[in-house]
Chains A and B, each alone.
Chain A
Amino acid sequence: MLKNYFKIAWRNLLKNKIYSFINIIGLALGMAVAIMISLWVTDEIRYNNYFENYDSIAQIYQSQTFNGYTGTGTALPRPLEFLLREDYGDNFEHITMSSWTNSRYLKFGDKIISRTGNFMQEPALDILKLDIIQGVENGLKEQNSIMLSKSVAETLFGNDDPIGKIIKVNNEHDILVTSVYEDIPTNTDFGEVEFIMTWRHYVATQQWVTNAIDSWGNNSFQMFVKIADNTTMETVSSKILDSKKNANEDTAEFNPQIFLLPMKDWHLRSQFENGVQAGGRIENVWLFSIIGAFVLFLACINFMNLSTARSEKRAMEVGIRKAIGSNRKQLISQFLSESLLVVLFAFAVALGLVLLSLNGFNDLASKEITFPWSSIPFWAYSLIFILFTALVSGSYPALYLSSFRPVRALKGTFKAGKMAALPRKVLVVTQFTVSVALIIGTLIVMQQIDHSKNRPVGYDKEGLIQIPTFGQDFLGKQDLMRQQFLASGAVLEMSTSSSPTTNVWSNRGGYTWEGKPEGFQESFTWTEVSPEHVRATGMTVIEGRDFSREFATDSNAVLINKTAVEYMGLENPIGKFIMDEDEEDPDPPMQIIGVVEDVIAQSPYEPVGAGFYVFDGSNNGSFYNVRLNPNKSVSENLSIIEKTFKGLFPDLPFRYDFVDEEYAAKFASEERVASLARVFTILAILISCLGLFGLASFVAERRTKEIGVRKVLGATVANLWILLSKDFIKLVVIALLVAIPLAFYFMTQWIQKFDYRTDISIWVFVAAGVGALAITLITVSFQSVKAALANPTKSLKTE
């Protein structure tokens, strides 16, 4: 029996090639999107799952409150380590301090490479349980040891045994390679840890780290823990909540709250708003899950729509089958097996599409997803998914068709009444509502990104590169480097700064000034710069003057930004002094010599913070900011700069970043969302159009006789075109009326999360509406014009 069902299903597919094509391609596209999205969602949810202690690992977080606003982050003071170990030790199985993930030069023989890694304590190895493939399990016993990832070891040593070799780190320290571990996958938060060095080495070689041992105010370090077996994350968090506040009076006014963020929340729920956990990437996971479900839903709607529409043509068959003895159950089985066949077919096509587009998708989403051939859950879910889709998309036609009364069907008088078309109309409206809402959503996301991109940045980011200058080698060489750069002709100006132009690495408080309100808890972004910084980066001085080497007093001068003037409540800022509040060992007062335009160094969606640009007295910046000569080509400039750089630092690799690219990277996450959304929207529209096309051809076919009669009576092609198109236009107009308020509501909500945001323009809705109507008209016209042009004698003869 089943064989018979499949046979007739197969012949039906072949007989109606256009319908079959639309049905299968439409459904396959929907499934491909759903598969792709579920792979992506799985990858997001399984982030960090690589670590076997996934459930018991946490990072220590801290919230502090300044002027009523609570900020939350991972930066911690060093004394917290000793406090947690001594007073709260039973809550933890392991605790490790960690530096940020820093880049270091690793040199062996002639080979020198720059790689990123962390400085951590021995318990880190028990927490992370890395896969050691060479050397000792505990490679952090001796202070001057390094553990390398497999790919770093291969790059440095090729096929030689790395264990026991001595490498030079940052051209300063001789370090022993003790272990090699399997590369940590990129879908973890430790994916960039390509080497691990000891915490003791970090403390011993960095003066500021050494000094931070008893400083509760210097929040510059990370801490990871594995909690004890007999406790929970919540319990530990509640125990350590006030630990810092109780231990240190000086910082108590900021109400520091110490707590754990479990590893399972790191990737998806790591955003905090005013001290409260407020989602994060999980929102994208939801967004895409919903889009995926919608696209699949659209494809299923098509399938149902086309099947029911076609059913009128098959009414005769149902009648015959009933007359020769089929019962309703058998007919339902027949139509369900037909839908199962189509779904299986579509699934195969969908798999093909996924395999073909996986690479492109990975690029788009910056992922490394592979196809889960051997994953049993994947195939199990796929099977459920196939059966479910077959059932959902096939049940309506199955039930509907099998309910036909045989006599009416056989007489050939069967024509579904007005009511029979209603569900189909509802489906078309639903489909277009979703499509239009997606169009509007995508347009607004793109507008918001454009809007933020076009925001004035406060400096000239084109033709500007930054060269990182960490390490002893660069000490004291900056003036020499600048002279050589200027002399080379490739560089107009060079400055140094303590943070990159596109970020702020330091915030400071503890200052007072004339007119400072009582109890004001200030925080300023802090950048130390050489006197040429404003000129090199192209910042604008809007009041007062720039730094100058002419004035000896400028070593205690400061430039503040426009926001700082307002923030500090200054009327005439120029010449005012800013005093250090530290009573024991105050820094000398700084005099404001100028006000500069706000520079967007942090999020382009948020307002710029009040900032100080301080004269760099130590001659030890972290970056060279180099303004290229616009009269030469970039490549020419770069090769000259590299040569000049190598002349001064022959042992160091020449590394640089284009500032405009670094700035563009700030939009990467939103752009990724936008481009994914764009792709899915296009697919959704395509699927809707396929459905509409099929439906229109069906309607045209069904009304062949009517069209023939009308033509004989004198209707023009235009009359007929309008007649056939207007029903669809009506449906799309209804869809617009539903979609526009819906999209308006949700997008208004979405855009609230950006402080710097675009206005939602009415043109977006107009464009989406006109677009939807145009697409509908084009799709429908293809069929309606064809029908209207047909020779009436032919169409009338068929009856």
Chain B
Amino acid sequence: MANIILSLHEASRTVNSGSNKVTILDDINLQVEEGEFISLMGPSGSGKSTLLNCIGMLDAFTDGEYAFLGQSVHRMKEKDRSKLYKEYIGFVFQAYHLIDELKVYENIETPLLYKGVKASERKAMVADMLDRFGVVGKKDLFPQQLSGGQQQLVGIMRALIGSPKLILADEPTGNLNSKQSTEIMELFAELNKEGATIIQATHSENNAAYGSRIVNLLDGKIVSQ
């Protein structure tokens, strides 16, 4: 049996909106094994992004249990948690979220800086990455000089550079045209084949089809998986 990367047990997230308590995620039970490619589906407001953020530890569940690689995340201190996700999780965003002031090369390099990787090693790793995706020629451009698809490619490279165990992608093709979308989804499928574990949130049936498993959310609840 494959290793379990993460498991959620009755995990919930509520927020206070004025005097009302609003439940965004309700008793989520989910297990993710290494090598899976999961697609979270559901209409707007069903809680896909929140679930992704909570799994990515950018946000926290307010109730229930969350274990990542066997460690109880909900009992961790902020500092340990950030160490954990820095080490094992890579993010890909719908709006790419590249840093506008940094060149392609530097954007990809930044996570390594925060990990404290030595300069010579960084150079080699980024060069490998650029080479692998065939964008060596674009390394000195700024994000605005790239097309949306190319920007998302850089976003994915940035997510991959730290060799994460888990890639979280929130609507990675939401801002792209269909041709670019296909390219990006094929890239994800390939990465998955090479062994990466991926969770993506998506609206699109087409995109979801690339995954190995589909989890449907509605009003914060898992309705089918």
Binding site for B on A (CB under 8 A): 1, 4, 7-8, 11-12, 15, 316-317, 319-327, 330, 406-407, 410, 412
Contact = CB atoms under 8 A, between A and B. Distances in A.
B114 A326 contact: yes
Interface stretch (B67-75, B99-107, B175-183, B217-225): B99-107
B174 to A, nearest CB: 13
A327 B59 contact: no
B82 A8 contact: no
20 contacts: A4-B106, A4-B110, A8-B101, A8-B102, A11-B102, A317-B101, A319-B97, A320-B98, A320-B99, A323-B91, A324-B111, A324-B114, A324-B159, A325-B114, A325-B115, A325-B162, A326-B114, A407-B58, A410-B97, A412-B95
A769 B140 CA distance: 53
* Nearest 10 CB-CB pairings of A with B: A325-B86, A325-B114, A11-B101, A324-B111, A320-B97, A407-B58, A407-B59, A326-B114, A325-B111, A406-B58
Contacts of A8: 99, 101-102
A4 B113 contact: yes
A321 B59 contact: no
B93 interface: yes
Given A8-B102, A407-B53, A324 B110 contact: yes
> Which of B106, B111, B113, B162 has the most CB atoms of chain A within a 10 A radius of its CB?
B113
A11 B144 CA distance: 14
Contacts of B59: 407
Nearest to B142: A11
B102 to A, nearest CB: 7
Interface string B10-24: 000000000000000
B158 interface: yes
Nearest to B112: A325
A407 to B, nearest CB: 5
Contact of B97 (A4, A316, A325, A407): A316
Given A8-B101, A11-B101, A407-B53, A323 B58 contact: yes
A1 B101 contact: no
B223 to A, nearest CB: 24
Contacts of B162: 325
Interface in B98-143: 98-102, 106, 110-111, 113-115
Contacts of B98: 320
Contacts of B97: 316, 319-320, 323, 410
Given A11-B101, A327-B82, A407-B53, A321 B110 contact: yes
B48 to A, nearest CB: 13
B108 to A, nearest CB: 10
Nearest to B59: A407
Interface in B17-68: 53, 56, 58-59
Given A11-B101, A15-B101, A321-B99, A327 B58 contact: no
A324 B158 contact: yes
Contacts of A12: 101
Given A322-B58, A323-B56, A325-B86, 14 more contacts: A1-B113, A4-B113, A7-B106, A15-B101, A317-B100, A317-B101, A320-B97, A321-B110, A321-B114, A324-B110, A325-B115, A326-B114, A330-B114, A410-B93
Contacts of A325: 82, 85-86, 111, 114-115, 162
Counting chain B residues whose Cβ lies within 8 A of the other chain, the interface size class is 20 to 34
Contacts of A316: 97
Contacts of B113: 1, 4
A55 to B, nearest CB: 56
A770 to B, nearest CB: 43
A204 B19 CA distance: 102
Nearest to B101: A11
A7 B103 CA distance: 11
A412 B96 CA distance: 13
Nearest to A12: B101
Contacts of A7: 106
Contacts of A4: 106, 110, 113
B78 to A, nearest CB: 9
Contacts of B102: 8, 11
> Which of A7, A322, A325 has the most CB atoms of chain B within a 10 A radius of its CB?
A325
Interface string B141-160: 00000000000000000110
A113 B31 CA distance: 104
A324 B101 contact: no
B58 A317 contact: no
B82 A324 contact: no
Contacts of B86: 325
A325 B79 CA distance: 11
Nearest to A5: B113
A317 B95 CA distance: 13
Contacts of B91: 323-324
Nearest to B93: A410
A701 to B, nearest CB: 16
A445 to B, nearest CB: 48
A320 B53 CA distance: 13
A1 B95 CA distance: 26
Contacts of B106: 4, 7
Contacts of A322: 58
Nearest to A316: B97
Interface in B155-200: 158-159, 162
Contacts of B56: 323
A324 B87 CA distance: 10
A410 B99 CA distance: 12
Contacts of B110: 4, 321, 324
> Which of A8, A15, A407 has the most CB atoms of chain B within a 10 A radius of its CB?
A407
Nearest to B86: A325
Contacts of A330: 114
A330 B115 CA distance: 11
Contacts of A410: 58, 93, 97
A342 to B, nearest CB: 15
Contacts of B58: 322-323, 406-407, 410
B171 to A, nearest CB: 12
A407 B97 CA distance: 12
Contacts of B100: 15, 317
A4 B91 CA distance: 22
A321 B82 CA distance: 12
A341 to B, nearest CB: 13
Nearest to A327: B82
A282 to B, nearest CB: 50
Nearest to A3: B119
A319 B82 CA distance: 13
B58 to A, nearest CB: 5
A255 B157 CA distance: 93
B99 A317 contact: yes
> Which of B59, B95, B99, B159 has the most CB atoms of chain A within a 10 A radius of its CB?
B99
B104 to A, nearest CB: 14
Contacts of A407: 53, 58-59
A39 B135 CA distance: 57
Nearest to B79: A327
